[in-house]
Amino acid sequence: MKRDFFRKVGFGIAPGESVPTDPLAWAQAQMDAVPDLSWKGDIPTGEALMDHYAHWVYTDRKVLRKKHKKDRKAYKAAKEQLRYETGERFFENLELAIRHDAALNSGAPVFERLWFFWANHFAITDKDFMPEFTTGAYHRDVLRQHMTGSFVDLTKAATTSWAMIHNLDNSESIGPNSENGRRRRERGKVATVNENHARELMELHTVSPAAGYTQDDVIALSYVMAGWEHKHTKKRQECNPVHFNQRNHQPGTHTVLGKQYKQRGLNSSNKLLDAIEDLCAHPDCRRFIALKLCRHFICDQPTDAMMQPIILAWEDSDGDLPTVHKALLQVAWDYTGIEQKFQNPEVWFLQMVNMAGMAWPPSPKTMTYTFKNKPRRDQRKPESMLRELGLLPYRPPQPNGFSDMSSDWLSPELLIRRLAFSSESGTRISANLDFDALIDSNFDNADEIKAYLSPFTTRFGRAETLFPSYWMLMA
């Protein structure tokens, strides 16, 4: 029946869960609507988190540093207290709990796997205090909400989000001939664009280097983007919404990959949105996304035969994401049992937790925070655990996100983490867990796996040998 499929595109089958009789239809049916987040506790809004962020940076930079200018120890103590007041040590853990709860309990695990995928595609790096206050909410509010629309709308939303604008420095970009640029130069100051965001918009988010863009294209797209920024104010520092500031925008018509962008209407904000339309419609964009989807779900080196149905679905639907996702799932189904993918540490961990019915994430009650003291150890567990495993989803070191290549997840030490987590899982699973049922629901080679486990009679021995086994690591 190709039971590997439940792990290839999901988190496996939980104890007591009935096995879908038509797995492909089950998976595809999850693509049409954004499931509600299953977390029963508090889910702070992006705005509320931004208020915490603003309070944190303003108070630290403008109040505490001045107040305790001469007393380093007092400054450190006051700053520590501010961490608790603003939830600086807490929210990343809460976001991880919300993320993992969705994976395990939203009822649409395949949708959640794709959510993880897009969160990593439009990656926000570990910069400033974004993992603490921003990235989780950006995944929930900006990316997740656009997963049932078109790729171009998702890209527009990600590109103009506070998270991406701030992460890739676009607020620092000033068109040299813009109103502010000319004024700055008259005063002998430098006024240039910041190329960071424009480059990654092409390289990582849309067309990829395969499109053959040049440095001139990067600069032209930086001109197109100049003016998309967040204000910097005294009371909120950089924590203000993104807007388009015509006075920093480079006037004129700019040519990117042979296409011209000029102002339509009262300001030039349309230029970026027009450019995103063209980038997303570029053949190298759909090819690049198809490659990344296949690489994430099917194998390290996807073939044209795998990518082609996804590219065709994209062309037929103008990049409608549910259509593209369904095409991917069809390919994943076709290749289940033929191609296997080494599961990354977070996905593997969630599969283990789900299949063994372990209590995870911490409960909403545990994650109720008082904003007075340091979060307790049990409240910091999500972050400390994922750090140990080697994948903190809100902290990719670079804007290309976490790798989907097996070789980047395969080292003796990373294997030791799988072994250690499997070993410890024995203490966290129910004494009544029916291993035979677990194996029957999730694997096609149930007899082989049962024979493999037969020397081990306790749940400890069975857990620590089953979870790091080849059949569990690959799907």
Partner 1 sequence: MTITRREFIAGVGSITLLASPVFNVRAAGLQKRNLVIIMLRGGMDGLTAVPPRDKRLNSARPDILVKKTQKLTSDFDLHPSLETFHELWKAGQAGVVHATNIPYTKRSHFEGQNLMESGGHVPYGESTGWLGRGLEAAELGGLAISLPMPLLLRGKVVQDNFYPTHMSMPHKPELMTIAGSYPEGSALRKAMEKVISRPKSMMQQSNSNDAADLADTAATELARADGPRVAVFDLDGFDTHAAQGGDDGAHGEKLSDYDEIINRLRDGLGDAFDNTLILTLTEFGRKLDQNGGYGTEHGYGTAIMMAGGLVKQTIHADWPGLKSKELFEGQDLNATIDARAVYCSAMAACFDVDFAYMRKHTFWDEPLPDLTDALFKV
Residues in contact with partner 1 by CB under 8 A are 168-169, 171-174, 181, 184, 188-196, 199, 203-204, 209, 215, 218, 342, 387-388, 390, 397-400, 406-417, 419-424, 452, 455-456, 461, 464-465, 468-471, 473
Please report how close the Cβ of residue 397 comes to partner 1 at its closest, in angstroms.
5
Considering the complex, state which of residue 325 and residue 417 has its C-beta at the smaller distance from partner 1: 417
Q: Which amino acid is at 225?
A: M
Query: Measured from the CB atom, is 273 or 419 closer to partner 1?
Result: 419
- Least Cβ distance, residue 415 to partner 1 (angstroms): 5
Q: Which amino acid is at 409?
A: W
What DSSP element (H or E) covers 228?
Answer: strand 228-230
Give the DSSP letter of residue 319.
S
Nearest CA among 290, 284, 151 for reference residue 209:
284
In the complex, minimum distance from the CB of residue 439 to partner 1, in angstroms, rounded to a whole number: 13
CB of 318 to partner 1, least distance (A): 28
C-alpha distances in Å from residue 297, one per residue of 101, 134, 177, 311:
21, 27, 46, 16
- Residue 268 CB, nearest distance to partner 1 (Å)? 18
Least Cβ distance, residue 108 to partner 1 (angstroms): 31
Nearest distance in Å: CB 449, partner 1: 9
Our CB check for partner 1 shows the closer of 12 and 399 to be 399
Of 189 and 262, which has the nearer Cβ to partner 1?
189
- Say what the alpha-carbon torsion angle 55, 57, 61, 62 is, to the nearest 10 degrees: -30
Q: Which is nearer to partner 1, 320 or 464 (CB)?
A: 464
> Could you identify the residue written with the tokens 């997963």?
147
Lookup: tokens for 127: 């910069």
- HEC string for 5-31: HHHHCCCCCCCCCCCCCCHHHHHHHHH
For residue 376, give every residue at least 6 positions away whose Cβ sits within 8 Å of its Cβ, in sequence order, or none.
none
Q: Quote the distance between the C-alpha of residue 149 and its chain's center.
A: 18
Least distance in Å: CB of 203 to partner 1?
6
> Cα angle at 400 between 397 and 405, to 5 degrees?
95
Which of helix, strand or coil describes residue 224? helix
Cβ-based nearer residue to partner 1, 286 or 417: 417
- Is 210 or 433 the residue whose CB approaches partner 1 more closely? 210
Q: How many CB atoms lie within 10 A of CB 13?
A: 23
Q: Choose between 152 and 218: whose C-beta lies nearer to partner 1.
A: 218
Q: At 446, phi and psi to the nearest 5?
A: -55, -40
Instruction: Tell me whether residue 329 or residue 352 sits nearer to partner 1 (CB atom).
Output: 352
Closest separation in Å from C-beta 458 to partner 1: 11
- The C-alpha atoms of residue 211 and residue 416 are separated, in whole angstroms, by 40
